[in-house]
Amino acid sequence: MSEWLTEFGMFVAQLLTLVVIGVLAVTVILRVRGETGERTRLRLDELNGTRRNRRRRMQLAASQPGARKRLAKAFRRDDKEHDRRGRKGEGEVLSTVWVLDFHGDIKASGTGQLAEEVSAVLAVAGREDEVVIRLESAGGLVHGYGLAAAELDRLREAGLSTTVCVDKVAASGGYLMACAADQLRAAPFAVIGSIGVVAQLPNLHRLLKRHDVDVEMLTAGRYKRTLTVFGENTEEGREKFREDLETTHELFKRHVAERRPGLDIEAVATGEIWYGSDAVSRGLVDALGTSEAYLVERMQQARVISLKLEHKQKLGDRLGMAVSRGVEHGVERGLEMLDAGRWQKR
């Protein structure tokens, strides 16, 4: 018996060794392919077909059991007729609505991806096509959002009709981008506006002075540094800093006024925000409505295609993210159990 167990153990050890070698080989191959292959892929989703399939599933679920077969046959006939018309070239040629998404952080770090997606659309879009940008951003760095707005301006300069839909927020730099559209739509409680500029930084000079710490800062150029964190700020430096803020604000106002000429820019460029319904009355937004409602409406006359540039992740990155999600889920589950335990009777 002991001899049999020894042989079986050796067999299991050899099998595990082969499995480990196989996994390592696959990992090396995938890593090599990932490093030499294209690092991005373009994902295209036709939203018309997705919505049609969902509607059919809902119709089947809501129908009586005896009518489901007839309904399924009717769907198949419709599909065959649609395919037949397509093969024969019958029917009106639909225009295309290209849908892009931009969710901005403080650095507008998605601008590079947005630029490539805009280039992809410009390469194929026809004169009758439309571009819809679902935009969400509370703003951030001036230069980051200035570049993002310039990427959207490329659509306008190419003569393409553009619509920006804001479901939650387009404020400050987000509105700088949004106003590039021919049509700007917002949900009733979306946050709009904040046409202003803000900057702040702490100053530790008095704390350092109290502890006899000197800070030496050497500059070439009168205004190379206006306000500092560690040095003593002067009134001249503060005044220059305020002038720079006003200059940036004027550029912001000019940008918006050029793209929305009917807007009373002085009345709205106060740094305030408004909700969607009030933003319409002030001319900041053209119409109320959610992005989903607008796209469903456009599906009646056009093909609606969502376009997204996805970055492929390396195997190590995917494994790391999987482990991270697992740990996070475990911690969340543990906290939920602890919280639930507070209400259990003992």
pLDDT digits (tens, 9 = 90+) for 79-120: 776 666 555 555 565 799 999 999 999 999 999 999 999 999
Please give the mean pLDDT across all residues of the chain. 84
Pair 111, 176: CB distance under 8 Å: no
- How far, rounded to the nearest angstrom, does the alpha carbon of residue 166 sit from its chain's CA centroid? 12
Q: Of 271 and 24, which is predicted with more confidence?
A: 271
pLDDT of 193 reads 96
DSSP 193: E
pLDDT digits (tens, 9 = 90+) for 14-30: 777 777 777 676 666 66
- In 214-329, the DSSP E strands lie at 273-275, 287-288, 302-311
Residues contacting 165, CB < 8 A, separation 6+: 132, 133, 134, 135, 185, 186, 289, 290, 291, 294
Pair 227, 233: CB distance under 8 Å: yes
CA 286 to CA 263: how far, in whole Å? 11
Residues contacting 237, CB < 8 A, separation 6+: 223, 225, 226, 227, 228
Which of the four pLDDT bands, split at 50, 70 and 90, describes residue 306?
A: very high
Which part of the chain has CATH 3.90.226.10?
38-63+94-194+270-315
Q: Decide: helix, strand or coil at residue 186.
A: strand
What is the pLDDT averaged over residues 205-225?
86
Q: Decide: helix, strand or coil at residue 264.
A: coil
Is the model's pLDDT at 334 over the cut of 80?
no
What is the pLDDT averaged over residues 136-154?
96
Is the model's pLDDT at 321 over the cut of 90?
no
Alpha helices in 91-131, H assignment, sequence order: 111-124
Q: Which residues are catalytic?
A: 172, 224
Pair 176, 146: CB distance under 8 Å: yes
Residues above pLDDT 70, as percent of the chain: 77
When mean pLDDT is compared over 52-56, 155-159, 230-234, the highest value belongs to: 155-159
**CATH code given to domain 38-63+94-194+270-315:** 3.90.226.10
